[in-house]
Amino acid sequence: MTVTAVKPMSDDELRAEVRAFLEEHWKGLPHRSDQWTVGPEQRAWQAKVVDARWAVNRWPVEWYGRGLADRQAKIVEAEFAAVRAPGAGQDRTHLYAITAFNFGTETMKAALLRGMLTGDINMCLLYSEPGAGSDLAGVRTKAEPDGGDYVVTGQKVWTSGAMTADYGMLIARTDWDVPKHNGISFFFLPMKQPGVEVRPLRQVTDEAHFNEVFIDGARVAGDFMLGGLNNGWRVLQTALAYERSVMGDAARGPRRGGDRATMVDLAREAGRLADPVTRQHLAQVIAWRRLNALNNARAKADLKLGTSSSVMSLGKLAMSRILHEEARFRTMLLGAQSLLEGEANPRADDANFLSLNAYFTSIGGGTDQIQRNIIGERVLGLPKEPEIDRTIPFRDVRAG
Amino acid sequence: MSSFTAEDRAAMADSVRRLLADLCTEADIRRAMESEAGYDAALWTALVDLGVAGLVIDPAHDGLGGGPVELEAIMEEVGAALLPAPLFAVTMAAALIAACGDAAASDRLLPGLARGRIATVALTGEAGTWTPDGVALAAHAHGERWFLDGTASYVLHGAAADLVLAVARIEGGFGIFEVAPDAPGLAVERLQSFDRTLRLAKMDFRHVPATRLGQAGWEAVEAMLRLALVALAGEQAGGARRVLEMTVQYAKTRIQFGRAIGSFQAIKHMAADLLLESESATSAARAAAEALASGAPDAAEAVHLAAFACADAYAKTAADAIQMHGGIAFTWAHPAHLYLRRARADLHLLGAPAYHRERFLQAMGA
């Protein structure tokens, strides 16, 4: 790294420079269906973006940035967005790079940051375990020091992108004799090594979007620990906060024919639109979606006025009910047809798929029950449930 | 469109909130509900002085010239405080008079309402539905004069009103009529209501002389009902939020098994679900008010959505509130049942939730 400073620019100068860059270099990208990796053309493009210092404008010059204020960084991002060029604003959107930048050692940052920003290094998350779902602080994957390295053994689950990942953000137990939150460390684990085995996980929907990761004696350099020994819980909290701010609602729609069919269309198609009982259900399922939209609009308006809104936290819970109840309504309309599935039975296939996939929202990212705890405690201010495992050594915590 | 700014609106709501905090305490409510009139005259006068009785009445008729948005905001306060007063009845009457488009009648009647005269609407019969086929009054013309026969029931403050606006069948449709409460042939009977803060009456009409307002028909009733439903939705949203607040507060302080009961997930999860209900009700009521105020083409959809969503949300919140409190709320002395009684009354005051779900679909074109 030779540059030590980037000359300050006015907004107009900055805009002119980024426009000139895009005009000269941006030629568009071919379409790609693989969502887990970045294609060669895009990697080449992002390398240009990183080297021209447009990828992470808020970061300092030592780390591919320009040290810009948020306002000016947004100018750059707007120019990229205007021509639909990817690669800018990664200091806001690249969960892994942000975590590495904020908590990684100099050695790790020098080794990985550029590759992460160009898309040459693929990442995945190694958080959840079969025994640590809602209670993430109960992870039992262990990392034991060995020379300058750590040796990792355990099992992770619900890992998307594990097949193609070069590194995984891992939480592992490094001290069993302190309470659970205090004995966790955070690593970038190299995935392409003999001790790491990835197996696709067949989901309840009969799809496989996630993997199980079996780790047996895999090695990670001490320099690839983030935030220091036994400080992993704090790093994780920050990383989870980034993740929530970046990810929108990931619920999927029907997978067969009826993407555009409304609930009214479906009721009409089933010959049930005139049935008073059906109409009552129909009005209610439509209402739940409408009410959620009205809540979101109100939350946004409140946010603009600078008043905090309790409505914001309710969206996930509302969406769980919407998805489960819409699927129930679709199933009810179909009657015996809901016994079927497959391409030949698109409506039944949709109803059955959606009835199972609704759990993606009501379990994934914190179950509805955990969400209710969060609303009860953080929004309504109700006292926390006593946690019997909070103050005892993790070694003595009951598992099962 | 009203000429209220956001600041005017906030100031108005704030004045009403402070007034109700002073003069509409639980003790005041209990006193009013045991009284014959069902409301405290001093509080009503204070509300009239604030302009609340004439909130939706045009300034030309001594009102404040507010619209659905202002009305909804005030009704949230009314609902939260469980105000026992003829405000809702007077607002419906004022809206119906204005919707008739009879300038002389408006000039003659509206200023009085703005100044606190008690007026009400007699529309539904024993059926209790606010639909054309719910009307059990018929009007017959004898020359220039009209006479009403039949029954109107569930008339708000019917026994105290000194102006009754009756909706009656005429040949080929409906007419809206002004009736004096002491008119010959009119018998008013107070009904015993489950919500003790309500005053309901049944009115029997036998050849009762009446004055028709303009040439207005059912479309004026619909216009009045849309505004009344927005007002009711606001009351329900405000009531739901307040009863939940009260319950959450109790769950923080009530100790059992050595812990605040709100620390138990059984209580916490109910509270979280009720927050979703009461906030959704608030969003729906406000959106309906805005849609009606702006004359949005989907205003009817928004109004009927708010009508059933707010009714159901309030009923569920008030019902669960008693369960969450436990034994203390099974006593007469505890206020939770006052909210449940109001919520249950509001479920059917202007048509049941099932009816509004049906109207919602019809408004969507389904």
Domain end residue (candidates: B91, B114, B137): B114
Is residue B74 within 8 Å of B2, Cβ to Cβ?
A: no
Note whether residue A324 is domain-resident.
Answer: yes
In one letter, which amino acid is A150? Y
Lowest mean pLDDT among A124-138, A308-322, B130-144: A308-322
Note whether residue A202 is domain-resident.
Answer: yes
Residues B110 and B21 placed together within one structural domain of the fold = yes
Q: How many domains are contained in chain A? A: 3
Which residues are CB-contacts of B18 (< 8 A; sequence separation ≥ 6)? none
Give the structural domain span for B150: 119-217
CATH code of B146's domain: 2.40.110.10
Residue owning tokens 């249950």: B344
Give this complex's ipTM: 0.95
Shortest CA distance to B155 belongs to which of B183, B133, B134, B185?
Answer: B134
Choose among A280, A369, A384: nearest Cβ to B263. Answer: A384
Cβ distance B268 to A317 less than 8 Å, yes or no, reads: no
Residue owning tokens 């995984």: A168
HSE of B126, CA atoms in CB hemisphere, 13 A: 3
Which residues are CB-contacts of A74 (< 8 A; sequence separation ≥ 6)? none
Cβ distance A295 to B287 less than 8 Å, yes or no, reads: no
Find chain B residues with C-beta within 8 A of A261's C-beta: none
Domain end residue (candidates: B217, B234, B263): B217
Residues B14-72 pLDDT 10s: 999 999 999 999 999 999 999 999 999 999 999 999 999 999 999 999 999 999 999 99
Residues B66 and B109 placed together within one structural domain of the fold = yes
Choose among B267, B275, B286: nearest Cβ to A314. Answer: B275
Q: How many residues does chain B have?
A: 366
Q: How many domains are contained in chain B? A: 3
User: What residues in chain B have per-residue pLDDT under 50?
Assistant: none
Cβ distance A279 to B358 less than 8 Å, yes or no, reads: yes
pLDDT given at position A364: 86
pLDDT given at position A37: 80
Comparing alpha-carbon positions, the chain B residue that sits nearest to A281 is B357
In which band, very low, low, confident or very high, does the pLDDT at A1 lie, cut at 50, 70 and 90? very low
Note whether residue A55 is domain-resident.
Answer: yes
User: Distance between CA atoms of B53 and B62, rounded to whole angstroms?
Assistant: 10
Give the structural domain span for A76: 11-93
Find chain A residues with C-beta within 8 A of B271's C-beta: 375-376, 380, 382
Chain A nearest C-alpha distance from B354 (Å): 7
Residues B213 and B243 placed together within one structural domain of the fold = no
HSE of A281, CA atoms in CB hemisphere, 13 A: 18
Give the 3-state DSSP-derived string for chain A, with helices as H, strands as E and coil as C: CCCCCCCCCCHHHHHHHHHHHHHHHCCCCCCCCCCCCCCHHHHHHHHHHHHCCCCCCCCCHHHCCCCCCHHHHHHHHHHHHHCCCCCCCHHHHCHHHHHHHHHCCHHHHHHHHHHHHHCCCCEEEECCECCECCCHHHCCCEEEEECCEEEEEEEEEEECCCCCCCEEEEEEECCCCCCHHHCEEEEEEECCCCCEEEEEECCCCCCCCEEEEEEEEEEEEHHHEECCCCCHHHHHHHHHHHHHHHCCCCCCCCCCCCCCCCHHHHHHHCCCCCCHHHHHHHHHHHHHHHHHHHHHHHHHHHHHCCCCCCCHHHHHHHHHHHHHHHHHHHHHHHHHHHHCCCCCCHHHHHHHHHHHHHHHHHHCCCCHHHHHHHHHHHHCCCCCCCCCCCCCCHHHCCCC
Residue A154 pLDDT more than 60?
Answer: yes
Residue B339 backbone dihedrals phi, psi, to 5 degrees: -70, -40
Shortest CA distance to B118 belongs to which of B55, B45, B65?
Answer: B45
Note whether residue B240 is domain-resident.
Answer: yes
Note whether residue B305 is domain-resident.
Answer: yes
In which band, very low, low, confident or very high, does the pLDDT at A301 lie, cut at 50, 70 and 90? confident
Residues B301 and B211 placed together within one structural domain of the fold = no
Find chain A residues with C-beta within 8 A of B9's C-beta: none
Comparing alpha-carbon positions, the chain B residue that sits nearest to A265 is B366
Residue A258 pLDDT more than 70?
Answer: no
Residues A346 and A277 placed together within one structural domain of the fold = yes
Residue A246 pLDDT more than 80?
Answer: no
pLDDT given at position A319: 94
Note whether residue A105 is domain-resident.
Answer: no
Find chain B residues with C-beta within 8 A of A298's C-beta: 282-283, 286
- Give DSSP secondary structure letters for B24-62: --HHHHHHHHHSSSSS-HHHHHHHHHHTGGGTTS-GGGT
pLDDT given at position A31: 86
Q: What angle do CA B74, B78, B84 make, to 5 degrees?
A: 140
Residues B223 and B359 placed together within one structural domain of the fold = yes
Comparing alpha-carbon positions, the chain B residue that sits nearest to A289 is B280
Query: Which stretches within chain B are classed as H helix?
Result: 6-23, 26-34, 41-50, 68-81, 87-100, 103-114, 218-253, 265-293, 299-325, 336-348, 353-364
Residues B351 and B243 placed together within one structural domain of the fold = yes
Residues A192 and A223 placed together within one structural domain of the fold = yes
CB count in 10 Å sphere of residue A97: 26
Residues B173 and B91 placed together within one structural domain of the fold = no
Domain end residue (candidates: A36, A71, A93): A93
Residue A176 backbone dihedrals phi, psi, to 5 degrees: -95, -5
Residues B251 and B160 placed together within one structural domain of the fold = no
User: Distance between CA atoms of A124 and B348, rounded to whole angstroms?
Assistant: 55
Q: Which two tokens stand for residue A213?
A: 């990761």
Cβ distance B252 to A377 less than 8 Å, yes or no, reads: no
Residues B108 and B137 placed together within one structural domain of the fold = no
Cβ distance B361 to A283 less than 8 Å, yes or no, reads: yes
Residues B169 and B146 placed together within one structural domain of the fold = yes
Residues A138 and A218 placed together within one structural domain of the fold = yes
Residues B223 and B357 placed together within one structural domain of the fold = yes
Domain end residue (candidates: B84, B114, B144): B114
Residues A235 and A296 placed together within one structural domain of the fold = no
Query: Could you give the percent of chain A with pLDDT greater than 70?
Result: 95
pLDDT higher at A36 or A184: A184
Note whether residue B269 is domain-resident.
Answer: yes
Q: Residue A325 catalytic?
A: no
Note whether residue B1 is domain-resident.
Answer: no
Mean pLDDT computed over A247-256: 62
Find chain B residues with C-beta within 8 A of A376's C-beta: 262, 265, 268-269, 271-272
Shortest CA distance to B124 belongs to which of B134, B115, B114, B132?
Answer: B134
Considering A243, A341, A385, A387, which one is annotated as catalytic? A243
Kindly report the average pLDDT of chain A as a whole number: 92
Comparing alpha-carbon positions, the chain A residue that sits nearest to B354 is A280
Chain A nearest C-alpha distance from B361 (Å): 6
